[in-house]
Amino acid sequence: MEEEGKIKIEQRFPSWSDMLKPITEKDFKKGIYHYPARKSDWENAPLPPVYTDFNPLDKDWHLPEGWKETILNKMDEFRKKYRELFVWMDICVRCGACADKCHYYLGTGDPKNMPVARAELIRSVYRRYFTWQGKIFGKWAGARDLTEDVIKEWYYYLHQCSQCRRCSVFCPYGIDTATIVWIGRELLTHIGIGHRFSLISIAACLRSGNHLGLSPMGMAGSLESAAEDIKEITGVDIEVPINKKGADILFVAPSGDYFATPHWFTLMGYLMFFHELEERYGLTYTWSTLAGEGGNFGTFYTYKCAQDMNGKIYKEAKRLGVKWIIGGECGHMWRDKHQFMATMHDIPDTLEEPVNPITGTYFENAKSTKMIHILEFAADLIKHKKIKLDKNRNNHWKVTMHDPCNMARGVGFFEEPRYVVRNVCNYFYEMPEHAIREKTYCCGSGAGNLADEVMDLRMRGGMPRAMALRYVHRLYGVNYLATICAIDRAAFTPLLKYWKLQPPVEHGGIFELVGNALILSDEDKERELDLRGNPLLKEEEVKEAVEEVAAAPAPTKEYVCELCGAVFTDLDECCEHAEKEHKIAKNACDMVCSEKR
């Protein structure tokens, strides 16, 4: 990987005929390609009974006998089964509207990372074997033969997609390249080709109930440790119910929240929140060690993997006899639960209509799944003034928010998180419009790309998000990046360090901020520390800081081009310079033009 804070982007602009030529193993770059799956992981996942033992850098990948027929037969099956796939294969006009919307293309400059070109990897084979134009005119119709090098190219590029769907927002036809990539990955599994990182997590989850492979005692011990940390800060004893039958709610969170940092502080916020609801209103909940994972790496791989993994949540809900389910802060988890789970399984008849027993609010969007998001629940309680909050406890944080791709584009979950943040913090600043909500940039590590061996890809893919964060950090002094996704929280640790944003910018979940602000009914001493153990700002310190800022003379603003160091007194001038000299679109100039501080 290159020097921290710097990457070299080598843009190429080949002809479409050159784009049809597949790359080979000689073109695989370290830090970009994934390690292949191991046989043990393959056999422990619900995958086709064929495994290919290959080295991505070898010429011979030892593909199974009849591999070509297998791929084409499955492609024929999928184009008939998935109506949208058949449409997307045919309607793309290759206008290029999606090209510069992909963070991996922006970070690598590789033309085959343009969403249109990534889909063409599969579409070109589809044309060759399933359209009369491709059968007759071949490459002149944008068609190509299915060869072993094409398989290598699929493996290399289909895993350079985080399935974030930003390209689809800007596509005039709404083509969902993420689904094309998902189906392409599934095609590869039928000839025994897959990458290691996702399969490790899938196999572990099916075996133990969580992606990390923690035993029930390990999970329970982790939760108890978080409760002990809460007592040190608040003086309050927190009971952690595990596998408790007859509770009102089954709470399901991503396993990263009870294992990693800064996820840990989000976990502490969860525990404090549910403790307060039981203390004040008698609302009970439970964790489950068998359904100890809300995330679903199967959604990056195959339908069958996804189905097997999310089924355990309904099974546990029925076994424990809960009334409804609440999900924690995880991006792909929530899209999976919100859009897939109820269509993949029968809903347990023990679950009730999703009505908040404290406020009476009916969560209509959860009518089918009987599962709501914890931030929906918290927003409803805050709106009805059912929990007490002290926003001043977060005065040491100047917060901005990253919209996780699956929460934003996948579900349209925009307002509830922001409503909660604004009610637990005094200082909240949005990143530029083109970098948030449905246009949000990806963290660069989703859909199975959180693996260490693709760190170069991750740092490049995360560059647009890092630049948008740098912008608000320099403009407003933002020092806390809030996100409601466990993969984001893991991805931002190396990303912010690489782009020289951490320190001073920290990152974490929104429920960490909720935990800081939440006034517990049985908390009998003034809190002096936040959940990280940092001293809280005292009222007089806040007042002094505000007065100091107000008294300071307004500085003369200057804007610097990050690419060449040119300085301007007007942001528009800097943007025009970036467009003219560096080919950066004006609506994305904040990636390179920032206020000089």
First to last CA, the chain: 28
How much is the pLDDT for 416? 96
How much is the pLDDT for 575? 84
How much is the pLDDT for 553? 56
Rounded-to-integer distance, Cα 312 and Cα 308, Å: 7
Average pLDDT over residues 139-167: 96
What's the chain's length in residues? Answer: 597
Q: Say whether pLDDT at 185 is over 90.
A: yes
For residue 167, CA distances in Å to 116, 578, 582, 589 come to 9, 23, 22, 19
Three-class DSSP category at 564: coil
Helix (H) or strand (E) holding 120: helix 115-130
Is the Cβ–Cβ distance between 557 and 547 less than 8 Å? Answer: no
**What's phi and psi for 437, nearest 5 deg?**
50, -135
Q: What is the pLDDT of residues 276-319, one digit of tens each?
A: 999 999 999 999 999 999 998 888 888 889 899 889 999 999 99
- Residue 339 pLDDT class (50, 70, 90 cuts): confident
Nearest in space to 273 (alpha carbons), one of 305, 322, 227, 307: 227
Average pLDDT over residues 502-519: 97
Q: Say whether pLDDT at 116 is over 60.
A: yes
Average pLDDT over residues 396-424: 95
The angle formed by the CA atoms of residues 512, 516 and 519, to the nearest 5 degrees, is 130
Least confident of 163-167, 351-355, 579-583: 579-583
Cis-peptide into 262, omega within 30 deg: yes
Average pLDDT over residues 475-487: 96
How much is the pLDDT for 565? 76
Three-state secondary structure of 290-345 = CCCCCCCHHHHCCHHHHHHHHHHHHHHHHHHCCCEEEECCCHHHHHHHHHHHHHHC
From the number of C-beta atoms within 10 Å of its C-beta (0-12, 13-18, 19+), residue 549 rates as exposed
Domain boundaries, the chain: 16-199, 208-383, 391-550, 559-595
How much is the pLDDT for 313? 93
Average pLDDT over residues 32-45: 92
Model pTM score: 0.90
How much is the pLDDT for 6? 72
DSSP-assigned letter for residue 439 = G
Rounded-to-integer distance, Cα 560 and Cα 571, Å: 9
How much is the pLDDT for 587? 66
The per-residue pLDDT of the chain, averaged, comes to 92
- Residue 149 pLDDT class (50, 70, 90 cuts): very high
Is the Cβ–Cβ distance between 82 and 182 less than 8 Å? Answer: no
Angle of helix 177-189 relative to helix 115-130, nearest 10 degrees? 60
Average pLDDT over residues 484-510: 96
How much is the pLDDT for 548? 60
How much is the pLDDT for 596? 66
Is the Cβ–Cβ distance between 487 and 332 less than 8 Å? Answer: yes
Nearest in space to 406 (alpha carbons), one of 296, 548, 280, 314: 296
Q: Say whether pLDDT at 342 is over 90.
A: no
Q: Output the DSSP codes for 69-111.
A: HHHHHHHHHHHHH-HHHHHHHHH-----TTGGG-HHHHHH--G
Tokens at 533, concatenated: 């153990």
Which one is predicted more confidently, 585 or 188? 188
Q: Say whether pLDDT at 43 is over 70.
A: yes
Average pLDDT over residues 207-211: 90
- Residue 2 pLDDT class (50, 70, 90 cuts): low
Q: What is the pLDDT of residues 519-545, one digit of tens each?
A: 999 998 899 999 999 999 876 666 665
Q: What is the pLDDT of residues 236-264, one digit of tens each?
A: 999 999 999 999 999 999 999 998 899 99
How much is the pLDDT for 546? 56
Three-class DSSP category at 354: coil
Q: Say whether pLDDT at 399 is over 80.
A: yes
Helix (H) or strand (E) holding 545: helix 539-551
Residues 6+ away with beta carbon under 8 Å from 106: 9, 100, 463, 464, 591
Which one is predicted more confidently, 14 or 251? 251
